[in-house]
Amino acid sequence: MERRRIAVVAAGLSVPSSTRLLADQLTAAVVADLNRHGIEVRPEVFDLRDTAHDVVNNLLTGFPPDRLKHVLDTVAAADGLIAVTPIFNASASGLFKSFFDVVESAALAGKPVLIGATGGTVRHSLALEHAVRPMLTYLHAVVVPTSVFAAAEDFGAEGLRERVDRAAGELAALVAARPATEVVDPFTLTRSFEELL
Ligand SMILES: Cc1cc2nc3c(=O)[nH]c(=O)nc-3n(C[C@H](O)[C@H](O)[C@H](O)COP(=O)(O)O)c2cc1C
């Protein structure tokens, strides 16, 4: 059976987090869809609040602490990414934006990405289109056409499931169509110990 890696980043600050809930629904739908394509997938899900201090340290020093480096490496090596933010002041949250400010510029190039957001009001559902999609397009990610916004009243209501499934189908189709991302071990690039020095 073929395999693919899916990374998931959720920038919710509350515990429990509605942003994480939406991320989990999107992840389950993407996994189910890839399974239908005959592809096995083990998603790796990260709550960015766990690395919030590390993100700030990376911004200040230019280097990611180990825990954040693991998240960044996982995102870079993934065949597809699900990125979900709460909407703060009609835009992505500061933590979500800062995280993508420390992602290596080449890490998302050509990578299929599904974007989602939660908010207090459906009036801000287009924040994904004017704030998040342009940022990821700038990073050369391939953002699927359907983005998923969920206000508090959308959870459990008609319509969200359909949008989740449509967006998940789009991400799964792109991930299935691409060869699995090759993870390059830097040590395999060298032929001798001298070259390592
Ligand atoms: C500082 C702040 C600003 C917010 N601004 C908005 C906003 O502009 N539009 C909106 O729809 N919701 C806004 N909200 C509500 C959050 O987006 C919403 O509660 C979100 O689902 C919280 O996600 P979480 O449960 O994962 O923490 C704001 C919340 C906070 C704390």
Among 126, 162, 177, 170, which Cα is nearest to 144's?
170
Task: In whole angstroms, give the CA distance from residue 160 to residue 101.
Answer: 30
Contact between 90 and 125 (Cβ < 8 Å): no
Task: Compute the distance from residue 155 Cα to the ligand 1 centre, in Å.
Answer: 15
- Which atom of ligand 1 approaches the CA of 91 most closely? 8
Per-residue pLDDT tens digits for 21-79 = 999 999 999 999 999 999 999 999 999 999 999 999 999 999 999 999 999 999 999 99
pTM of this prediction? 0.93
Task: In whole angstroms, give the CA distance from residue 164 to residue 1.
Answer: 25
Among 122, 119, 112, 176, which Cα is nearest to 145's?
112
195 pLDDT higher than 80:
no
Q: For a substitution probing ligand 1, which of 15, 21, 118 has the most ligand atoms within 8 Å of its CB?
A: 118
* Ligand 1 within 6 A of CB of 119: yes
* Ligand 1 within 6 A of CB of 155: no
Q: For 105-123, give one letter per residue: b (16+ CB within 10 A) or e.
A: eebbeebbbbbbbbbeeee
Per-residue pLDDT tens digits for 120-172 = 999 999 999 999 999 999 999 999 999 999 999 999 899 999 999 999 999 99
* Ligand 1 within 6 A of CB of 110: no
Task: Compute the distance from residue 114 Cα to the ligand 1 centre, in Å.
Answer: 20
Task: Compute the distance from residue 164 Cα to the ligand 1 centre, in Å.
Answer: 20
At residue 11, the pLDDT reads 98
Torsion, Cα of 181, 34, 97, 56 (10° steps): -60
DSSP assigned state of 17: -
Contact between 93 and 85 (Cβ < 8 Å): yes
pLDDT cut 90: percent of the chain above it: 89
Torsion, Cα of 58, 19, 16, 94 (10° steps): 30
Parallel, antiparallel, or unpaired for β 80-88 and 91-92?
A: antiparallel
